[in-house]
Amino acid sequence: MADGPKLFVGLGNPGPSYARHRHNIGFMAVDAIAGRHRLPPWRRKFQGEVTEGEIGGRRVHLLKPMTFMNLSGQSVGEAMRFFKIPIADIVVFHDELDLVPGKVRVKDGGGVAGHNGLRSLAAHLRSPDFKRVRLGIGHPGHKDRVIGHVLSDFHKADADWLEPLLDGIADAAPLLAAGDDASFMNRVALVIQQSSTSC
């Protein structure tokens, strides 16, 4: 595994009207990481918002594309080329319909499964071989309800799993930066479990 800088990308849509949408859980994840590790304020660059710093002793750049989901690859491609980060060191946080709410799975490469943000990244990076952190938001049960599901706000009751999930991701981010995906997933699951038992 390379010891160079990583690029953590959160996928979402810009603006306050989208801020609490399920589709924006990627933004929420990188915001949680930036806050926990006391990274500098976000600034505008690469058609997005960026910050960077040391996470677990490794240099990590964080990026939130502000192009809207379907054009996310434009922003990520610019940042990748500027920082000269190989595609294997790009980690993308995104919503995942096929995982139950609160579940996290890390995956290297693969298809885009109808996710427009991932499709845009694969096109602009000319490869699907970036790492994905799949954040479960659950499936509404029928394909006709998917768009409404992802483009609606989390319910108040979702805070019971969403807040521990984001806390776990922020806590375990150094493991992800180090490339220890299995330990990252285990640590996130442990934080969520500890939260549920303490309630």
Candidates 23, 61, 115, 149; catalytic one: 23
DSSP symbol at 4: S
Residue 132's beta-bridge partner residues? 92, 107
CB 165 within 8 A of CB 28: no
- Establish whether 23 is a catalytic residue: yes
| Strands 6-10, 104-108: pairing kind | unpaired
Cβ-Cβ contacts under 8 Å for 98 (sequence gap 6 or more)? 113, 136, 139
- End-to-end, the C-alpha distance of the chain in Å comes to 39
CB 27 within 8 A of CB 110: no
DSSP symbol at 125: T
What residues are annotated to the active site? 23
